[in-house]
């Protein structure tokens, strides 16, 4: 027998595993922080040619990197939309229900580290995604506190998630509590109840 992959050592693997349980071919999903395009590519493979991935990033450099990656992978350009805008403006671009939304917070790897996500815009984006999220849909947030505004962002996000209506949402938080150097943590939110007076 080969050595099994140890999911507990890599939060990115845990994250991707969760996505695969909630996202199906033909679904519509959001990548709220496209970065270098790695997560965008994973999501596109999950939704397939009949699905749609809306990917956001405030930095043009991230959009260009993602575009280059998807071209290199020969991805059908009809199954994704790359949006050079802050995720706090999701509601200006998307009006359809989604199966999932993912966020990988912090700064662009290999980019300008002074440009980071912030709690105000991130929570605005999460609220918009919750309004679009289908029953049994998933929001995942990879949180990094190892940058200037990271600790405040983490604190605000956990407060926000803790105060969500327990009749409508389940939340799960994963933290690597015995590791050094401020490792990332994972926040999951799933909708379990339909919108008040609405239809799914």
User: pLDDT tens per residue, the chain (200 residues)?
Assistant: 566 777 777 888 889 999 999 999 999 999 999 999 999 999 999 999 999 999 999 999 999 999 999 999 999 889 999 999 999 999 999 999 999 999 998 765 766 666 677 879 999 999 999 999 999 999 999 998 766 677 888 899 999 999 999 999 999 999 887 877 777 899 999 998 766 655 55
| Dist CA 196 CA 116 (whole Å) | 34
Extended beta strands in the chain, E state: 28-31, 52-56, 80-83, 98-104, 133-143, 169-175, 185-191
Identify the pLDDT of residue 177.
Answer: 78
pLDDT of residue 70: 96
Contact 86, 117 (CB under 8 A): no
Question: Superfamily for 11-182?
Answer: Vaccinia Virus protein VP39 (3.40.50.150)
pTM above 0.85, yes or no: yes
What is the per-residue pLDDT for 11?
Answer: 84
Inter-axis angle of helices 38-47 and 11-22, to 10 degrees? 30
Rounded to whole angstroms, the Cα distance separating 159 from 90 reads: 22
Q: Would you state the pLDDT for residue 197? A: 53
Can you count the helices (H) and strands (E) in the chain? Answer: 6, 7
Token readout for 59 is 């930095």
Pairwise CA distance, residues 158 & 69, whole Å: 33
What are the boundaries of each domain within the chain? 11-182
- How confident is the model at residue 182, as a pLDDT? 75
> 183 in helix, strand or coil?
coil
Cβ of 64: how many Cβ atoms within 10 Å? Answer: 14
Return the DSSP state at 195: P
């Amino acid at each position: 027998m080969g050595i099994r992959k140890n999911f507990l050592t890599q939060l990115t693997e845990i994250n991707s595993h969760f996505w695969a349980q909630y996202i199906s071919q033909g679904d519509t999903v959001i990548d709220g922080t496209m970065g270098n395009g790695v997560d965008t590519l994973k999501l596109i493979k999950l939704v397939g040619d009949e699905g749609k991935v809306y990917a956001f990033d405030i930095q043009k450099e991230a959009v260009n990197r993602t575009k280059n990656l998807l071209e290199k992978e020969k991805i059908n350009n009809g199954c994704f939309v790359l949006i050079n805008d802050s995720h706090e403006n999701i509601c200006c671009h998307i009006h359809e229900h989604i199966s999932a939304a993912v966020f990988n917070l912090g700064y662009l790897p290999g980019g300008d580290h002074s440009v980071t996500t912030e709690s105000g815009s991130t929570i605005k984006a999460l609220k918009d995604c919750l309004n679009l999220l289908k029953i049994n849909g998933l929001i995942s947030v990879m949180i990094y506190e190892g940058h200037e505004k990271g600790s405040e962002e983490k604190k605000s996000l956990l407060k926000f998630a803790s105060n969500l209506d327990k009749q409508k949402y389940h939340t799960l938080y994963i933290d690597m509590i015995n590791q050094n150097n401020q490792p990332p943590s994972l926040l999951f939110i799933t909708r379990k109840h339909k919108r008040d007076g609405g239809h799914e």
